[in-house]
């Protein structure tokens, strides 16, 4: 029996986010700003932005999704790998924070006014890791409508990529997109044969 690292992550992120709601100076030091990373070498921002959120709703949605899918991923890791579940999950989450910002880092490196907060990129990675293991497990769209994970995943990736190209709102669609792709391939670093498992799961669906 291993520690519930998912709950620990949720508690840490929630505590820091709530504290930063009333401390804009803390929020300012932790948020992602590509210009600050590149020109002032504040590399901690590549990860620390995931510890703070822009609003209660932003925090609650991310933590609820992380709680829901993190449990599943921990179970799948237990089943697929011989030990190391906690460290693998931590590596997935933390590395996804960095990977999901790489495109934005390059795109916004000369824009001092671009800022981003929230663990959405890493949460997307967790969701899509669960889809790799069980592609037809239903996901509740808008919290109500059940939809097979693989269908949700395809629609999510298409939408995120499209909106990232449009760049018409303040949502980090690039982080959502790259976090999702990373979540799909992360377990393959440990066990490439999981790609075959994913394919077999897809074709085994009973219409």
Q: For 92-121, what is each residue's pLDDT tens digit?
A: 999 999 999 998 999 899 999 989 999 999
Segment 198-206 shows an average pLDDT of 81
CATH number at residue 34: 1.20.1540.10
pTM over 0.75: yes
CA proximity to 103, closest of 183, 31, 182, 48: 182
Cα three-residue angle 118-120-124, rounded to 5 degrees = 165
- Domain of residue 35 covers 5-203
pLDDT digits (tens, 9 = 90+) for 149-199: 888 888 888 888 887 777 655 567 788 899 999 999 999 999 999 999 889
CA distance 92 to 125: 8
What is the Cα 121 distance to its own chain's centre? 3
* Residue in the block written with tokens 């804009």: 24
CA distance 87 to 31: 25
Number of structural domains the chain divides into: 1
């Amino acid at each position: 029996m291993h520690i519930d690292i998912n709950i620990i992550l949720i508690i840490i992120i929630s505590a820091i986010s709530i504290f930063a709601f009333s401390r804009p100076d803390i929020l300012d030091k932790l948020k992602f700003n590509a210009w600050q990373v590149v020109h002032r070498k504040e590399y901690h921002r590549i990860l620390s932005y995931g510890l703070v959120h822009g609003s209660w709703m932003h925090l609650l949605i991310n933590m609820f999704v992380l709680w829901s899918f993190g449990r599943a991923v921990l179970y799948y890791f237990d089943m697929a790998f011989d030990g190391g579940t906690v460290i693998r999950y931590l590596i997935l989450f933390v590395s996804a924070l960095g990977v999901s910002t790489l495109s934005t880092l390059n795109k916004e490196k000369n824009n001092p006014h671009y800022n981003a907060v929230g663990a959405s990129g890493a949460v997307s990675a967790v969701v899509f890791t669960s889809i790799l293991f069980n592609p037809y497990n239903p996901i509740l769209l808008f919290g109500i409508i059940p939809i097979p994970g693989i269908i949700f995943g395809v629609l999510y990736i298409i939408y995120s990529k499209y909106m990232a190209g449009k760049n018409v709102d303040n949502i980090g669609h690039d982080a959502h997109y790259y976090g999702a792709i990373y979540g799909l391939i992360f377990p393959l670093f440990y066990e490439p044969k999981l790609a075959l498992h994913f394919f077999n799961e897809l074709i085994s669906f009973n219409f």
